[in-house]
């Protein structure tokens, strides 16, 4: 019998923890041919399979740098304004995230099915998962490149899961176990659920069911995470109202100590280390030379082992740095003011009006400011009347422009007290008869 080192690495996950490879064959659980096939497939898929940690992150000049490293060939570096990603993620609708995952899984499934059924010029089907994954990254994820980091991250992780499902199609529960670890402890699935079992003894698992199941459970996981994060950020906003004498970390510790929160932020830690920035595959001598000759930077980075770790890192970045964030008075979503610190509105698009919340806020503020302003009310009523006459061509555009200019001048005189409200109203009434 051959030596099947790759098979040995997944033997436990297949349910044979107490058996040697020889015993598995002798008892008839798997044939040597099947084990050899699994071992060969594992060898071919080595660069595609997920490893941990799945990435790292660090902050510099109010920018967060994220390296997603799900496998040897799946490594991406991205930068976003620090602290904004987690707040934007909470504002996302889970249905939008699910739509991206469904589109991506459909695309990669089509690519795999096409490549797996198309022979080359020699009539041989040659199939390379690395090419498929790279194509999926370039096509499906390209539209997300400048979007929210967590939307991009979740889709990257789901792409890794779908890829591993096809690699592990002899036992896709391994891919599901990896995916569970990638997302974090709060990702739960039922190993005994009937929809994941083969339709008949000896049959292949239905990969599409695993994909759909992954989408369903990911949506539940994200809803749960957003609910917890919303609660935690609400709690931090309350600090200034109730416990302003404590700094944020004191407050956070006190809240967890009182069991008002999960033991999430004070009870866990990150592994950090120095990392040369700008290279990912290297040997030590090359890095030393680059640091000396090219002044390549070195930073302290935080290892990330799950999507949950990234949530926690971003939350703690905002908490430790006492970063100012607010709740938009229009949409109710969290945001970090990009301009004036006293801004009460975010710059997301308001679904009802199509304008940004900041624009809606300005309109509402203006209207509220003038709701009891008789001068403004008189001007607005006359303006609407004259605008209607212009649109019905009762007056020309030129006449309307001239009237508007004069009306604004009269309004300003009235606001300064140089003419009375009665005089201003009389002029407006007279001008409408022209």
In the chain, domain spans: 5-44, 48-323, 370-431
**Do 157 and 74 contact (CB within 8 A), yes or no?**
no
What pLDDT is attached to residue 307?
A: 92
Q: CB count, 10 Å around CB of 309?
A: 20
Q: What are phi and psi of 78, to 5 degrees?
A: -140, 155
> Residue-wise over 152-185: b if at least 16 C-beta within 10 A, else e?
bbbbbbbbbbbbbbbbbebebbbbbbbbbebbbe
Maximum mean pLDDT: which of 306-310, 385-389, 412-416: 306-310
Q: Kindly tell me the number of DSSP H helices and DSSP E strands found in the chain.
A: 16, 7
Largest Cα–Cα separation, the chain? 106
Please give the C-alpha separations between residue 250 and each of 78, 86, 255, 311, 321, in angstroms, as whole numbers.
32, 22, 9, 20, 13
Give the pLDDT score at 275. 85
What percent of the chain has pLDDT above 90? 9
Share of the chain above pLDDT 70, in %: 84
pLDDT of residue 239: 79
Asked if pLDDT for residue 223 goes beyond 80, the answer is yes
Check whether 302 has a pLDDT greater than 90. Answer: yes
For residues 120-143, average pLDDT: 66
Which pairs from 413-420 meet CB under 8 Å and 24+ separation? Answer: 414/375, 415/375
pLDDT higher for 116 or 74? 74
pLDDT for 179 equals 93
Residues 6+ apart with CB under 8 A from 96: 151
- Whether the per-residue pLDDT at 261 is higher than 60: the answer is no
CA distances from 427 to 57, 380, 415, 420 (A): 66, 14, 15, 11
Q: Can you tell me the distance from the alpha carbon of 252 to that of 258, in angstroms, rounded to the nearest whole number?
A: 10
Q: What DSSP line would sit under 410-424, residue for residue?
A: HHHHHHTTSS-HHHH
Residue 129 clears pLDDT 70, i.e. is over it: no
C-alpha 111 chain-centroid distance: 25
Top mean pLDDT of 128-132, 188-192, 238-242 is at 238-242
Least confident of 52-61, 282-291, 324-333, 365-374: 365-374
Give the per-residue pLDDT at 192. 62
Q: Is the pLDDT of residue 434 over 60?
A: no
Q: Higher model confidence: residue 140 or residue 4?
A: 4
Which distant-in-sequence residues (6+ apart) come within 8 Å of 319 by Cβ? 236, 248, 249, 252, 265
Write the DSSP symbol of residue 71. S
DSSP state, 349?
B
Q: Do 56 and 303 meet the contact criterion of CB atoms below 8 Å apart?
A: yes
Please report which residue ranges of 200-356 form alpha helices under DSSP H. 207-242, 248-257, 284-294, 307-320
Cα angle at 261 between 257 and 262, to 5 degrees? 100
pTM over 0.85: no
Q: What is the pLDDT of residue 384?
A: 86
The pLDDT value recorded for residue 300 is 93
**Does the pLDDT value for residue 187 go beyond 60?**
yes
Which of 26, 6, 122, 130 has the alpha carbon at shortest distance from 72? 130
Average pLDDT over residues 119-124: 64
57 band by pLDDT with thresholds 50, 70 and 90: very high
Contact 164, 49 (CB under 8 A): yes
Rounded Cα gap, residues 186 and 176, in angstroms: 14
Q: How far apart are CA 429 and CA 424, in angstroms?
A: 9
- The three-class DSSP label of residue 67 is strand
How large is the average pLDDT for residues 154-172?
A: 86
* Helix, coil or strand: residue 310: helix
d(CA 357, CA 343): 11
* pLDDT tens column, 58-105: 998 888 999 998 887 778 888 888 888 899 889 888 888 888 888 888
The answer on pLDDT for 203 being more than 60 is: no
Instruction: Round to whole Å and give the CA distance between 272 and 304.
Output: 9
Q: pLDDT averaged over the chain?
A: 82
Q: Could you tell me which residues are beta bridge partners of residue 78?
A: 66
């Amino acid at each position: 019998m051959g030596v099947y080192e790759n098979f040995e690495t997944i033997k436990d996950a297949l349910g044979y923890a107490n058996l040697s490879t020889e015993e598995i064959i002798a008892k008839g659980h798997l044939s040597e041919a099947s084990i050899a096939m699994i071992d060969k497939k594992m060898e071919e898929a080595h660069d595609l399979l997920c490893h941990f940690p799945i990435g790292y992150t660090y902050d510099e000049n109010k920018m967060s740098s994220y390296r997603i490293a799900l496998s040897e060939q799946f490594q991406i570096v991205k930068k976003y304004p620090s602290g904004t990603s987690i707040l934007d993620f909470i504002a996302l609708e889970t249905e939008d995230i699910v739509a991206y995952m469904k589109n991506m899984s459909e695309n990669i499934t089509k690519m795999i099915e096409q490549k797996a059924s198309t022979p080359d010029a020699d009539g041989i089907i040659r199939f390379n998962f690395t090419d498929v994954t790279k194509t999926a990254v370039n096509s499906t994820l390209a539209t997300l490149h400048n979007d929210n980091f967590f939307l991009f991250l979740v889709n990257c992780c789901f792409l890794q899961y779908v890829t591993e499902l096809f690699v592990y199609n002899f036992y896709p529960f391994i891919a599901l176990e990896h995916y569970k670890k990638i997302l974090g402890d709060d990702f739960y699935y039922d190993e005994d659920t009937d929809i994941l079992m083969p339709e008949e003894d000896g049959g292949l698992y239905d990969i599409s069911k695993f994909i759909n199941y992954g989408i369903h459970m990911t949506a539940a996981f994200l809803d749960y995470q957003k609910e917890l994060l919303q609660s935690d950020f609400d709690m931090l906003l309350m600090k200034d109202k109730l416990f302003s004498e404590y700094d944020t970390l004191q407050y956070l510790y006190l809240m967890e100590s009182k069991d008002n929160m999960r033991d999430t932020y004070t009870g866990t830690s990150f592994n950090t280390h120095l990392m040369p920035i700008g290279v990912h595959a290297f040997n030590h001598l090359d890095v030393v030379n680059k640091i000396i000759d090219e002044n390549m930077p070195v930073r302290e980075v935080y290892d990330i082992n799950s999507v949950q770790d990234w949530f926690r890192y971003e939350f703690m970045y905002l908490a430790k740095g006492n970063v100012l964030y607010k709740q938009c008075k229009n949409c109710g979503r969290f945001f970090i003011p990009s301009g004036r610190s006293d801004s009460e509105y975010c710059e997301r698009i308001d679904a009802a009006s199509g304008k940004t919340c900041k624009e809606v806020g300005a309109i509402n503020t203006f209207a509220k400011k003038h709701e009891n302003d008789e001068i403004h009310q008189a001007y607005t009523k006359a303006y609407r009347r004259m605008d209607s006459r212009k649109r019905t061509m009762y007056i020309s555009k030129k006449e309307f422009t001239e009237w508007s200019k004069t009306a604004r001048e009269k309004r300003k005189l009235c606001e300064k007290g140089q003419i009375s409200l009665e005089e201003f109203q009389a002029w407006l009434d007279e001008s409408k008869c022209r």
